[in-house]
Amino acid sequence: MTTSLPEIKSLLIAVAMISCAAFSTGCSTAGAHQAFTYRKMHSNPHPEKVLTYSYDPAQSTPAQPFFKAAYAGSGYSNSVRNRILYELMGMVDDYYYRYTFELRADISGKNIFTDTLGLGTSLASTAAGAKELKTVLSAISTAAQGVSKSIDSNVLLGNTIQAVRLQMDAARADIATEMIKKMKEQGTTEYPLEAGLRDIIRYYDAGTLTSGLANLSKESGKDKANAEAKQKAKATNEQLSTLPAL
């Protein structure tokens, strides 16, 4: 086998690129935020803002339920309950907007990278003179495209991410509206802080990808059932219209 220097260079570049691609695939979740409560507990410099409890070791009672203590200290007032819930909703909103932004950016970045890799190795294969090297490069190119295909599911997700996001927005808006209505109209007997904290968890959950996808599937299922019912009704009407007129 006679392989020229430029051909070896091309091969090395292709190998380096495929290694990077494999690495980036393996790290597909890098940079994504951890779960809301976990992140707040382990990376937030203000642990007193953990969802319900403070784990501040400087306090004499590190496991003090921060929000619940403030709520009890106010004599279970509506306004303190509302302020606590609004603050938590704001934290969830902040997390949600950053989460959806990063989700979109992560998927688009990977797509461009693997497309470039596939294109690069194919071009190198065409330009290489030696038959053996061509085979090697083609094999690498095929492998690279295999990596790309494995990411295609993510790319597909990227194309539908807007639909999922709309679903998440709708679910979050429903819960927020429900919470605000309760906070305005109900006292702490009917809607205590504990119930509000439970709604905060639901509010956070509605903004997760899992929940969004599940809701999207549910809505798609409903749409499908409606479409089938309409089609069936249309077919029935068409059949009835063939009856002889009286």
Partner 1 sequence: MNVIVKRINAADSGQIEAKINTFLGDPAHAGYALAAAFETSTGDVVVIFQKP
Which residue, chain included where needed, has tokens 């950053």?
Answer: 98
User: If binding is defined by CB under 8 A, does position 236 make contact with partner 1?
Assistant: yes
* Tokens standing for residue 190: 């009917």
Residue 242 has a CB neighbour count (10 Å cut-off) of 6
Site residues (CB under 8 A) for partner 1, limited to 52-111: none
Query: Which one of 10-18, 89-97, 217-225, 235-243 is the stretch in contact with partner 1 (CB under 8 A)?
Result: 235-243
Q: In the bound complex, what is the minimum distance in angstroms from residue 246's beta carbon to partner 1?
A: 4
Site string (215-234) toward partner 1, x via CB under 8 A: ------------------x-
What is the residue type of 210?
T
Out of 29, 79, 189, 237, which residue is the one contacting partner 1 (CB under 8 A)? Answer: 237
Shortest distance (Å) from residue 242 CB to partner 1 = 8
Q: Among 2, 153, 210, 241, which residue sits at the site for partner 1 (rule: CB under 8 A)?
A: 241
- To partner 1, the closest distance from the beta carbon of 234 in angstroms equals 9
Residues 6 or more apart in contact with residue 232 via CB below 8 angstroms:
none
* Between 2 and 237, CB nearer to partner 1: 237
DSSP class per residue in 135-194: HHHHHHHHHHHHHHHHHHHHHHHHHHHHHHHHHHHHHHHHHHHHHHHHHHH--TTTS-HH
Provide the token pair at 164: 């999922």
Residue ranges binding partner 1 (CB under 8 A): 233, 236-237, 240-241, 243-246
